[in-house]
Chains A and B, each alone.
Chain A
Amino acid sequence: MYYVLKKKDLPKFVKLLNKDFEVIAPVKKNGSLIFDKVSSADEIVKNYINTDYPPKNLFLPDGETIFEYKKSNNIKIKHPGKPKKRVIYRIRPCDVNALLKLDKILGGGFYYRTKRENTKIIAINCTKAGENCFCTSLGDDQLKEGFDLLLTDVGKEFYIKIGSEWGKKLMKHKIFKRAENSFKKTFFECKRFFLAKDLDKKIERNFNTKIWEKHFKKCFSCTACSVVCPMCYCFDLVQVPKSENEGKVKKFWSSCLLKEFSRVAGDFIFRDKRVNRVRQFLSHKFLYGKKHYDEFLCVGCGRCISHCPVGIDYEKFLEEIK
């Protein structure tokens, strides 16, 4: 079911959302385009391909408190409360697909799940691809589910597809009109392309070859690609004491690209070579992800390429691997 919203009515739309929800949308902060709280439509950046950072911090905040403890004769444990009701407005299909894939992996955990349940998704289709985008290779440019509303920019207005009961109810407001019987859809094309079929088998075949050395010798384990990846979710549980008898246990982002990541007692490190850690990074996404969750743990947002300080291009690697 499609509805139409005139662009001039956008401020009213954001106001409507703000009544019951914390509205989170793309904003410019410290020179980066990120997802953050907004109170009105004019704070929102509208002309962009994608945000510099994915919205994963909204669901997996870096340094999130898992529990607080207090020691006396006994140990008292306190958990943080449920998150606020919020809506993410203007999230791209690749980032929604990343959340759908993360659901399969993290959906059993209380903290991730409650944040997902308390967050409405108003996604917006892309009309243009960025130079590093490769979502079309992985099929993550399309959204079949995972949204409450899906917007498509068609010039002066948005076509809105309904994806949930909440979305359907919202469309009863007078700023929305039912769409005509037929209307034009917009398409876009990524310049980059590889065949995703059998990517897992290709990685497996090349696991013990020199190909990793060839492509990733330059990597110096800065983990920028991990930080900006909407699907990198690996973490450390860390005790953060406040005093001798109380403190918190927090969950911090970590990355398999770090040497520390595999270190055990006795200072033994299982992936000592940097190239082997890049191999782990990509194998997790394209080989183990496929095996364990039947998904490639990548949505082709291309942020890893944009943010690499030494110009490593994972997509080129995926094109070349045979």
Chain B
Amino acid sequence: MKIYTPDIGKIKKTIKETEDTKTFQIELENKILREHFYFNPGEFVLITVFGVGEAPFSISSSPFNKNYFEITARKTGNVTNALFNLKEGNKIGVRGPHGKGYPMDEFEHTNIILISGGCGLAPLKSLIEYVIQKRGYYNKLTLLYGAKTPQNIIYEKEISKWKKIKNFDVHLTVDKGNKKWKGNLGVVTKLINKVKNFENSVVCLCGPPVMMKYSIPELKKKGVEDEDIFVSLERKMQCGLKICCHCNINDVYVCKDGPVFRYLDIKDLSELGW
């Protein structure tokens, strides 16, 4: 197998989320691959900008959508800078989907609490859309989302839709507000107190390490068990196949064993860093 050769995808649409963040709708050229693009929320793809490089991105769209998938990228490095310059109709390389996502089957008939910060909402958006499409299988859905400022909030359109959905609580907070902002102020960890019931619940966290570090003790205080906490980790994934060795944390490979991990399985890893 030519495991490092990407498939070709076309940028169908770009959506500006914030000043430095965009969502890209990507359609695979090959019809068979397009129709068999199966993944679980939380999995990732490796996107090649030809002539620049390849980088991993969480898939942010629903797995039920067979025509295209979405990624959300923030301008932070070579690949994302180049990606921002691409226009609708431009071609890119796609490898994947890779990795292990959220165990959606296990989540059936439980309450799902999502905690995320900044761009960490991307993989959770995939999960949210999945749950909305299979609504009867899941109990209450709660989203706690924090951004730096109101301008940094991504998926604004989707969030206002989610707020109207029954049995779906959405709580937003920003570190620094503005004149228009009437919502919560402060870090996302503070929102944990808004959740009244942690029984029969799983909690999924995706955001910067510092968010994980401070959220988990709060969740423990509420009685959430380590096995019911799921975290999404970031490392320098390159081959996506557990070969190139760029992304291991002790003996765990983020690209294949994760990026979504049960907290119980990784909490004792000394190289975790938080």
Give A residues with C-beta under 8 Å from B.
66-67, 69, 71, 74-75, 77, 79, 105-106, 108-111, 207-208, 233-239, 241, 244, 247, 249, 251, 254, 256, 261-266, 270-271, 276, 280, 283-284, 287-288, 291-292
**A269 to nearest B CB, angstroms?**
9
Establish whether residues A67 and B273, one from each chain, have CB atoms under 8 Å apart when the complex forms.
Answer: no
8 contacts between A and B (CB under 8 A): A77-B8, A106-B243, A234-B246, A236-B244, A239-B48, A249-B48, A265-B77, A270-B249
Interface centre among A237, A265, A266 (most CB of B within 10 A): A265
B251: contacting residue among A236, A237, A288, CB under 8 A: A288
B157 close to A (CB within 8 Å):
no
With A234-B246, A284-B245 already in contact, the answer to whether A264 and B236 are too (CB < 8 A) is yes
Give B residues with C-beta under 8 Å from A.
1-5, 8, 48, 50-55, 76-77, 80, 91, 93, 234-236, 238-239, 242-251, 270-271, 273
A67: contacting residue among B2, B76, B243, CB under 8 A: B2
B76: contacting residue among A106, A111, A266, CB under 8 A: A266
The 6 closest A-B pairs by CB, nearest first: A265-B76, A234-B245, A241-B51, A265-B77, A288-B251, A75-B91
Give every chain B residue within 8 A of A251 (Cβ-Cβ): 4
**A241 to nearest B CB, angstroms?**
4
- Complex: A47 Cα to B139 Cα, angstroms: 75
Q: A79-B5, A108-B3, A270-B236 are in contact. List 20 more A-B contacts (CB 8 A).
A: A66-B4, A71-B91, A74-B8, A74-B91, A106-B243, A109-B1, A109-B4, A110-B1, A233-B243, A235-B244, A237-B244, A239-B52, A261-B236, A261-B246, A263-B236, A265-B77, A270-B249, A284-B248, A291-B251, A292-B242
Interface centre among B54, B242, B245, B271 (most CB of A within 10 A): B245
Establish whether residues A71 and B77, one from each chain, have CB atoms under 8 Å apart when the complex forms.
Answer: no
- Complex: A321 Cα to B108 Cα, angstroms: 48
With A75-B50, A110-B1, A239-B53 already in contact, the answer to whether A264 and B244 are too (CB < 8 A) is no
Least CB separation from A255: chain B residue: B245
- Complex: A136 Cα to B273 Cα, angstroms: 38
Establish whether residues A288 and B91, one from each chain, have CB atoms under 8 Å apart when the complex forms.
Answer: no
- Complex: A264 Cα to B259 Cα, angstroms: 14
Interface centre among B2, B52, B236, B243 (most CB of A within 10 A): B236
**A59 to nearest B CB, angstroms?**
14
- Complex: A266 Cα to B54 Cα, angstroms: 16
A237: contacting residue among B1, B54, B235, CB under 8 A: B54
Give every chain B residue within 8 A of A276 (Cβ-Cβ): 271
